[in-house]
Amino acid sequence: MIKRFLQKVFTKKAKAQIAINRADSSDTSSAKIISTKTHKINKNLISSAALKTCEGLQKEGFEAFIVGGAVRDLLMNYKPKDFDIATNATPEEVYKIFRRSRIIGRRFRLVHVLWGNETIEVSTFRGHHQTDGDGQTADSGRILRDNIFGSLEEDAVRRDFTANALYYNPTREEVLDFHNGVADIKANLLRMIGDPVTRYQEDPVRMLRAVRLSAKLGLKIEKNTQAPLQKLADLLQDVPPSRLFDEMLKLFLSGHAVESINALREQHLHHGLLPLLDVVLEQPLGERFVMLALKNTDDRIRIGKSSNPSFLFATLLWHEVLKAWEQYKAQGHNFIPALHMAMNEIIDAQAQKLAIHNRFTATMKEIWGMQPRFEQRAGKRPFSLLTHPRYRAGYDFLLLRCESGELPMELGEWWTQFADATSEARAAMLLPDTSHKKHRRPRDKKPADSVEQVTHE
Ligand code: ATP
Ligand code: MG
């Protein structure tokens, strides 16, 4: 029912909107056609879901190509982590072909086709955006809307880098190359399509993409693509926070976060990306902590382990939390309530500026909230901390604090041993319990930071 209803709505809208010229769309005359002999793409690296999606579209008479990062990765003989498909079918037409599919997106309408737990993103060829007073671009040149359908060739022009504008037809096993992307990849170059300044002005996020993709793929940013970066860095201030967040998340989880952050700093692009990252990267302890955390994440991702974004954001903001915590304590608030006030303050500030999704903040708070408990090594408390559902994340976080010099290494080592020990050995490791004193003291006379086990200051 719902599917039917949506179909109706979208078909109506699409008919009005489509400036698609199907006759044009198969014009590949300006593309180099590269055969298997030259591109040597290993078809085993392509997910069967992507192949089935292309076949499904082609069977209905549409064009369908694997496009973007996946083709680039295949040419470099990496296994792509996700597959995008470009087609001349409209979102509604795609939606009708695949039973398990849904139309998503406002800025770009595209279709997610689901196969088992894999999602293939299918987008209709996009055409040229209009300019000059049509409401599609901001004064700075930034494109606000980009949802006009077009031909295959037009679709290639509006992609960012030559290496990202390659179209692979798995049936014919051919790569269509409109902008010399294959030669650039061979020459190890990341080159912007068109005039780099205009392309960065249209979408400043491309500056971050240049840095991220060059770090991730080991491609050198081509001279003219590189030249305007520093001068245009301020354009990033204009980008909606949620887009910055998505791009930064990709960067942090690329397996090359350390190189990317270093490159961003060299290009003077890191200011204002994460409102508090600037501050953190300029405090010696904060910097050491953040870089250790990023290196850890990189190592995990490179050996195929997953990494939890909540953990990463908890590390990025920890030194801000510490600062606010100190302030609340100095104002006379008790130790633990002061920590909770600090956590909330930092999260609230970020929620406004960076749009950290709510789904991450609960875990971040759990990781932070657990930290004082690691400093309590007497009585039953260490045992109950071990059973905390997020113990592992809290413990990893503690180790980073020790490694960065914020806490004595001995504390981290104690927990490593304690978690591994037999129950008798654990009992022997506990520190003397002096907490009973606190029960005798009337509540209102308790000085602010009297929890005796905590050695944080
Ligand atoms: P990754 O391997 O990190 O996913 P990617 O190049 O595939 O890198 P995506 O964000 O998945 O990056 O984008 C898919 C494709 O969409 C890109 O290869 C590129 O062709 C196009 N694209 C993405 N972002 C932009 C942009 N800001 N401007 C122009 N084209 C873009
Ligand atoms: Mg991709």
**360 and 212 in one domain?**
no
Domain span at 130: 1-187
Answer yes or no: is the C-beta of 80 below 6 A from any ligand 1 atom. Answer: no
Integer Cα distance of 431 and 448 in angstroms:
23
**386 and 248 in one domain?**
no
Answer yes or no: is the C-beta of 162 below 6 A from any ligand 1 atom. Answer: no
| pLDDT value, residue 367 | 97
What SS3 class is residue 94?
Answer: helix
Evaluate if residue 149 carries a pLDDT over 90. no
Integer Cα distance of 324 and 329 in angstroms:
9
| pLDDT value, residue 106 | 74
Answer yes or no: is the C-beta of 69 below 6 A from any ligand 1 atom. Answer: yes
Answer yes or no: is the C-beta of 191 below 6 A from any ligand 1 atom. Answer: no
If we measure between CA atoms, which residue out of 289, 278, 283 comes closest to residue 407?
289
Closest-CA residue, ligand 1 atom 12, reads: 69
441 assigned to some structural domain: no
State in Å: Cα 161 to ligand 1 middle: 9
Q: Which ligand is nearest to the CA of 69?
A: 1
Span of 83-87, 309-313, 451-455 with lowest mean pLDDT: 451-455
Number of domains in the chain: 3
Candidate of 128, 158, 164 to mutate for ligand 1, largest count of ligand atoms within 8 Å of Cβ: 164
Q: How many CA atoms are closer than 13 Å to the CA of 102, on its beta-carbon side?
A: 6
Integer Cα distance of 293 and 127 in angstroms:
42
DSSP secondary structure, 269-323, as one string: --TTTSTTHHHHHTSHHHHHHHHHHHHHHHHHHHTT----HHHHHHHHHHHHHHH
Integer Cα distance of 37 and 139 in angstroms:
47
What angle, rounded to 10 degrees, do the helices at 284-302 and 309-330 form?
160
| pLDDT value, residue 273 | 64
Evaluate if residue 8 carries a pLDDT over 60. no
Say how many residues make up the chain. Answer: 457
State in Å: Cα 431 to ligand 2 middle: 51
Ligand 1 atom showing the smallest separation from residue 216 Cα: 3
Evaluate if residue 162 carries a pLDDT over 80. yes
Closest-CA residue, ligand 1 atom 17, reads: 68
State in Å: Cα 83 to ligand 2 middle: 7
Q: What are phi and psi of 268, to 5 degrees?
A: 60, 35
Ligand 1 atom showing the smallest separation from residue 206 Cα: 27
Span of 191-200, 201-210, 236-245, 313-322 with lowest mean pLDDT: 236-245
Answer yes or no: is the C-beta of 121 below 6 A from any ligand 1 atom. Answer: no
Answer yes or no: is the C-beta of 164 below 6 A from any ligand 1 atom. Answer: yes
State in Å: Cα 67 to ligand 2 middle: 9
Ligand 1 atom showing the smallest separation from residue 84 Cα: 14
* pLDDT tens string 372-416: 999 999 989 999 999 999 999 999 999 999 999 999 999 999 999
393 assigned to some structural domain: yes
Strands 84-87, 174-177: parallel, antiparallel or unpaired by DSSP? unpaired
Closest-CA residue, ligand 1 atom 4, reads: 69
| pLDDT value, residue 442 | 47
What SS3 class is residue 145?
Answer: coil
Integer Cα distance of 82 and 117 in angstroms:
12
DSSP secondary structure, 26-77, as one string: T--TTSEEE-HHHH---GGGS-HHHHHHHHHHHHTT--EEEETHHHHHHHTT
* Cross-strand pairs, 291: none
Residue linked to tokens 């190509």: 65
**174 and 217 in one domain?**
no
The CATH code of the domain that includes 210 is: 1.10.110
* pLDDT tens string 38-97: 999 999 999 999 999 999 999 999 999 999 999 999 999 988 989 999 999 999 999 999
Last residue of a domain, one of 246, 273, 300: 273
**199 and 164 in one domain?**
no
Candidate of 84, 193, 219, 253 to mutate for ligand 1, largest count of ligand atoms within 8 Å of Cβ: 84
| pLDDT value, residue 441 | 47
Evaluate if residue 267 carries a pLDDT over 50. yes
16 assigned to some structural domain: yes
If we measure between CA atoms, which residue out of 312, 323, 282, 293 comes closest to residue 402?
293
* Cross-strand pairs, 85: 66, 122
408 assigned to some structural domain: yes
| pLDDT value, residue 217 | 94
Among left, alpha and beta (phi > 0; psi -120 to 50; other), residue 268 is: left
278 assigned to some structural domain: no
Q: Which of 28-32, 83-87, 146-150, 274-278 has the highest mean pLDDT?
A: 83-87
Token pair for residue 147?
């949802």
State in Å: Cα 84 to ligand 1 middle: 9
**2 and 136 in one domain?**
yes
CA 177 and chain centroid, separation: 28
Question: Where residue 455 falls among pLDDT bands split at 50, 70, 90?
Answer: very low
**122 and 30 in one domain?**
yes
Cite the active site residues. Answer: 82, 84, 160
Q: What are phi and psi of 311, to 5 degrees?
A: -60, -45
Span of 16-25, 99-108, 118-127, 282-291 with lowest mean pLDDT: 16-25
| Structural contact between residues 170 and 67, judged by C-beta atoms closer than 8 angstroms | no
Ligand 1 atom showing the smallest separation from residue 82 Cα: 4
Integer Cα distance of 317 and 299 in angstroms:
21
Closest-CA residue, ligand 1 atom 15, reads: 68
**222 and 179 in one domain?**
no
The CATH code of the domain that includes 319 is: 1.10.3090.10
**140 and 75 in one domain?**
yes
**101 and 206 in one domain?**
no
**64 and 6 in one domain?**
yes
* Mean pLDDT of the region 89-117: 93
| pLDDT value, residue 99 | 95
| pLDDT value, residue 359 | 79
**319 and 254 in one domain?**
no
**21 and 114 in one domain?**
yes
| pLDDT value, residue 19 | 40
Closest-CA residue, ligand 1 atom 2, reads: 69
| pLDDT value, residue 139 | 64
Integer Cα distance of 400 and 66 in angstroms:
41
250 assigned to some structural domain: yes
| pLDDT value, residue 449 | 40
Strand boundaries in 98-196, DSSP class E: 101-104, 110-115, 118-124, 166-169, 174-177, 189-190
Closest-CA residue, ligand 1 atom 9, reads: 69
Q: Which of 12-26, 85-99, 425-439 has the highest mean pLDDT?
A: 85-99
The CA-based diameter of the chain, rounded to the nearest angstrom, is 87
* Mean predicted lDDT score pLDDT of the chain: 85
* Cross-strand pairs, 33: 176
440 assigned to some structural domain: no
312 burial (CB, 10 Å; 0-12 / 13-18 / 19+) is buried
Integer Cα distance of 337 and 452 in angstroms:
16
If we measure between CA atoms, which residue out of 184, 141, 186, 149 comes closest to residue 165?
184
Question: Where residue 444 falls among pLDDT bands split at 50, 70, 90?
Answer: very low
| pLDDT value, residue 15 | 42
The CATH code of the domain that includes 32 is: 3.30.460.10
Ligand 1 atom showing the smallest separation from residue 70 Cα: 7
Evaluate if residue 6 carries a pLDDT over 50. no
Token pair for residue 44?
């085993």
Token pair for residue 346?
């930092």
133 assigned to some structural domain: yes
Ligand 1 atom showing the smallest separation from residue 209 Cα: 27
Q: Which residue has the higher pLDDT, 129 or 111?
A: 111
Strands 84-87, 64-67: parallel, antiparallel or unpaired by DSSP? antiparallel
Candidate of 159, 167, 236, 256 to mutate for ligand 1, largest count of ligand atoms within 8 Å of Cβ: 159
Closest-CA residue, ligand 1 atom 21, reads: 159
Answer yes or no: is the C-beta of 250 below 6 A from any ligand 1 atom. Answer: yes
CA-atom Rg of the chain in angstroms: 27
Q: Which residue has the higher pLDDT, 280 or 181?
A: 181
* Mean pLDDT of the region 203-232: 95
